[in-house]
Amino acid sequence: MEGVFSNKLRAFLTALGIIFGVGAVIAMLAIGTGAKQAILEQMKLIGTNNIVIQSKILTEEENEAASTNNSGTKQKDLRPWSPGLSMEDALVLDRLLPTIDKISPEIVLSTNIIQSGKLEKAKCIGVTNTFFELNNLKLFKGKFFHDKHLEIGKPVCIIGKNIQSKFFSQEDPIGKKIKCGNAWLTIIGVLEKRVASSESLENLGIRDYNSDVYIPITTALIRFKNRALVNKKDIKRGDWDDEVDKTENYHQLDKLVIRVESSENMKATAQVVARILKRRHQGIIDYEVKVPELELQQEQATKDRLNLVLAFIAGISLLVGGIGIMNIMLATVLERIKEIGVRRSLGAMRKDIILQFLFEAIFISMIGGLVGVILGVSTAYIIENYFEIPAEVSTWSVVVSFVVSASVGLIFGLFPAEQAAKMDPIKALRTD
């Protein structure tokens, strides 16, 4: 202890490599752990083994590209026409593909919600009970839709927790009525609050489940709007000469979520789904097939590789710190030759000399490791709060980093300690 504190500045500079190395390793592992937790949170939001089919409106350029035949000649008589994503697509896919476990169609309707003189803009979502199962949504109170609700389109709904807070903060909403657009709906259930960061919702392209009103999909088609019914605008969509609103949504369904029985079949099932839809939509790709779980796994693998590289780079500083400790300890041995000679002549054994210098090296690295842990935890906190990057410091990363720092002192302090112990005490005393 006296040997270390007799030259505090040199001991501090010696420990700097360990300090920054341990701090960098802890910060990098915290970022990696935070990213993994964020991925797991997103996985809970989307469910497992899901394939998401999202409808989309083609641009004018995409329409013109779709109207070109195999020979490269544009078909001028008729505009490319697709029936859009529909309930019939869901039935066909469910019937043809044995790998499909469950399928959930969705219709998203932007509307106004009115109750007791309060008005809010919200989304009314037409779904089946499968929707709640695939998205891991549970009831806070009430019940899910009955078969009769789905068969004849009864005016019932299930509301999110935020809707309850806005309109029914002081009363039980079950059995009460709420007006969505022009339809009055009876509330039969309230969903449990789903806690999720806005970043996760935005990255996955999903809504806030707490702020929506859910109705049977047949209710959405019967009492609100069925975009699959052919009208004058649909006929004009097939004529190049007529000007139609190119941004109008002609899809009966806005989204179709498919759960595959086995994750091994997800990629193959997604490819077959894309082929079937392409044929049913007359070769028009007015939909997007996504496999969120595979995308998230690929994202996680990329982040893991990046974090591994960063942790390796941070670990190099630990190696440099260890070399610095060995270098300083070798210099210390040369400076303290007389001290070694006096101790040996007074009866100190070789192991006493080894333990003295070895302890000094370990003590410096442990102090550096302790300061490095504080630096790493502080850095992770700053990164999470000021740069909005998820970071989570785990106990094992702190313990491992501290043990590694102590091991660095042991390994790199052993050689200088042995060099000091091998000195001939007579030569040591004779040295100026």
Domain-terminating residue out of 295, 311, 328: 295
Same-domain pairing of 243 and 126: yes
Cα radius of gyration rounded to whole Å, the chain: 34
Same-domain pairing of 230 and 316: no
Distance CA 200, CA 412 (A): 45
CB of 185 closer than 8 Å to CB of 177: yes
Single-letter amino acid, residue 115: Q
HEC secondary structure over 373-422 = HHHHHHHHHHHHHHCCCCCCCCHHHHHHHHHHHHHHHHHHHHHHHHHHHC
Same-domain pairing of 129 and 153: yes
Which tens digit of pLDDT belongs to each residue from 368-389? Answer: 889 988 998 998 888 888 877 7
Confidence tier at 142 by pLDDT (50, 70, 90): very high
Question: What's residue 331's pLDDT?
Answer: 78
Q: What is the DSSP string of 239-252?
A: BSSS---TTS---S
Least confident of 3-7, 75-79, 227-231, 357-361: 75-79
Domain-terminating residue out of 295, 313, 339: 295
Same-domain pairing of 110 and 237: yes
Give yes or no for residue 88 having a pLDDT over 60. Answer: yes
Question: What's residue 71's pLDDT?
Answer: 44
Confidence tier at 206 by pLDDT (50, 70, 90): low
Same-domain pairing of 420 and 321: yes
Least confident of 4-13, 114-123, 143-152, 198-207: 198-207
Domain count, the chain: 2
Same-domain pairing of 21 and 79: no
Of residues 231 and 181, more confidence is placed in: 181
Question: What's residue 70's pLDDT?
Answer: 44
Same-domain pairing of 135 and 283: yes
Same-domain pairing of 252 and 286: yes
Same-domain pairing of 116 and 17: no
Give yes or no for residue 218 having a pLDDT over 80. Answer: yes
Q: Which domain holds residue 184?
A: 48-295
Question: What's residue 279's pLDDT?
Answer: 92
Which tens digit of pLDDT belongs to each residue from 298-307? Answer: 666 777 777 7
For residues 232-239, give the mean pLDDT.
60
Closest CA to 191 of 144, 250, 223: 144
Name the average pLDDT for the chain: 80
For residues 393-399, give the mean pLDDT.
82
Give yes or no for residue 290 having a pLDDT over 50. Answer: yes
Same-domain pairing of 282 and 309: no
Domain-terminating residue out of 295, 322, 345: 295
Of residues 96 and 316, more confidence is placed in: 96
Same-domain pairing of 208 and 128: yes
Same-domain pairing of 189 and 270: yes
Least confident of 24-28, 192-196, 231-235: 231-235
